[in-house]
Amino acid sequence: MKINNYFLDKTIYVVLLSLISTLTLGQGYNFSLEGGTWNGHGNVTTQQATMLVGGAEVGGDGEVNATQWFVNQSGGGDYLVLRTDAVGGQASWVWSNFSSSISSAAELSITTANGANNATVAQYIRDAEALFIAGGDQREYMDLWKGTAVADAINYLINDKKAPVGGTSAGMAIMGGAYYAPATSGVLSSEILNDPFHQYTNNSFFYNDFLQNPYLTNVITDTHLDRTHGTGNENRYGRAFGILARTISDQNDQQRYAIACDEAAFVCIDASGNAKVFGDGGQTQYPTKAYFMVGNCSTPETISAGQPLVWNKNGEAVKAYVIQGSVNGNGNSFSLNDWETASGGGWMNLYTTNGYSSFNYLNGSGASTGASAPSCGGGTPPPTGGVQYCASYGNSTSYEFIDEVGIDGNYHFSGNDNGYGDYTSVSFNLTKGGSHTFFLDPNTSSRERVVVWIDYNQDGVFDANTEEVLYKQTRRSFSSSFTVPSTALSGATRMRVSMQYASDGYPYPCDVLDYGEVEDYTVVISNSSSQRLAGATVEVEGSMAYPNPTNGRLTYPSTASNITLVVVDALGRELRKVTKNTIDISDLNNGLYYLRIIEDGEESVQKIIKN
């Protein structure tokens, strides 16, 4: 009997795909290639870009043209869709319509925290040249991904690889430095305007602890504005106004913003911070408008638990620049550099004198464009612009460089930057008067001097007397506590980390180092709390556990009479604990972990890799 090889090969292929899917699901993730060859392209050049989608994409011309704009920023590389539920059809649709603009399209579903720390998962994300976060549940995204290798990989794409990253619905909701991830039910417009601290806002607002997009540092997003919700068929225009009020109140900072979108509206932000809006031009039931909302140099007059929100400022509390999305994205623009320069739309005044019933844009009606621009100049540029700082760098990193910096359990891996690393697009959240933990991992075999400064008064100068955060001589990774003065100004400012070969003396903020490295970061100072890696608060230098990377068993050389080893994940969750100098992690998934070493009451932290 003659066998048809084509059908035999196809059958084997289907069986193999099913087997691979089953195996990866058992590890907490599923990767599905929908077309092309993953990571099979040559050198490509990506462009940093962001696409925010209000949800309910309809496959119309606006979506097609916005997606074409997005994939054009990938340089012809690999397109990856990220989600937490079963793989869907978005990558398949992209491959069917845009295969000439990309090398491949795939879906990656991550279903467990172990999957989110899996090294293979992180590598899939890092290999992508365009990443799109699907709709779903933003709380689930936060719970599964924040503080994991997945979050590190997404931030790597945004800030290091400078690849386009976008999201729809829940994917858009987590893109801002501020984000609303409801712990229970999503709050309605009436609920947040009648009580800005409604129970559905409890433990649901978060700040600068997840994704780190340089143009969205002080921005919160909202989606599905025109969709009706609840028994009263409410739209979300009042909710967007309410969540902006909460972020301004929570952060005690007037320079906070919001981007809110109707369904089927696409906000496309290029590498220079200029946005344009795609949509269907209002030709269907979808308005496809985008709202760029600016607190007009004011804080709410009344914002307290159980009381209706009052944010009036003579009828000009918030200025919203409203753009009707066009099919080709032409004819409109909005600058996220100053939050004022705009064209193709119009300014609208938003306010309330007494909660929901007095909100002047109830369900998308009752206000019109034609208002004046913000009276306070529309805001400030992102942290990478504005104040100019002196240059400082190392001439040689042949023997030492800064490998990793972190604050309160949030870490950034940099590697060798050849003397200077500009990471001002990476931000850490600090609290006025609060104690925080700084972590540094040097790549060196020699003793180094490490000094950290923060420009607390935001004047562009690191004052050696009042703005030096810490000084340390070390050849190992270390953690050290510092306290932010209560007099520090709110908002984003610069942090400089300098590491110099110890024999060359003490590094100063504007020095050129013979041997060593300098890195600059952004810190956002507010009155809110920050998350920390549990226990990583004591400054102790010690030996290193080995082997590292490890296949399972770690040994820490110590003569201490009392020793405890604790393995935690990037969220600070305790995974293993022993009271001896060896620990076995062979049953943990591959990825990044931290080893807390407690010797006779003194503690240090070591980064470890499980292979």
pLDDT tens digits along 447-489? 999 999 999 988 888 887 789 999 999 989 999 999 999 888 8
pLDDT tens digits along 290-330? 999 999 888 899 999 999 999 999 999 999 999 999 999 99
Round to whole Å and give the CA distance between 366 and 569: 50
pLDDT tens digits along 219-254? 999 999 999 988 889 999 999 999 999 999 998 888
Give the chain's mean pLDDT.
87
Q: Where are the alpha helices (DSSP H) in 523-570?
A: none
Strand partners, 572: none
Which of the residue ranges 162-176, 397-411, 517-531, 552-566 would you say has the lowest mean pLDDT? 517-531
**Nearest to 443, CA basis, from 413, 410, 408, 407:** 413
pLDDT tens digits along 596-610? 888 877 767 777 888
Predicted confidence band of residue 105 (pLDDT cuts 50, 70, 90): very high
Round to whole Å and give the CA distance between 473 and 150: 33
Query: Residue 346 pLDDT > 70, yes or no?
Result: yes
Q: What is the pLDDT of residue 572?
A: 57
Predicted confidence band of residue 91 (pLDDT cuts 50, 70, 90): very high
- Amino acid letter for position 434: G
In 455-541, beta strands by DSSP E: 468-474, 478-483, 491-501, 512-513, 516-526
Q: What residues contact 514, with CB distance under 8 A and at least 6 apart?
A: 394, 395, 396, 500, 501, 504
pLDDT tens digits along 583-592? 989 888 877 7
Round to whole Å and give the CA distance between 605 and 556: 12
C-alpha distances out from residue 40 to 43, 99, 107, 119, 127, Å: 10, 14, 16, 20, 10
pLDDT tens digits along 13-68? 334 444 444 445 568 999 999 999 999 998 899 999 999 999 987 667 789 999 99
Q: Using CB atoms within 10 A of its CB, is residue 68 exposed (0-12), middle (13-18) or buried (19+)?
A: middle
Helix (H, G, I), strand (E, B) or coil at 203: coil
pTM equals 0.63
The answer to whether the beta carbons of residues 33 and 94 sit under 8 Å apart is no
C-alpha distances out from residue 567 to 112, 319, 513, 571, Å: 19, 49, 36, 11
Which of the residue ranges 86-95, 124-133, 256-265 would you say has the lowest mean pLDDT? 86-95
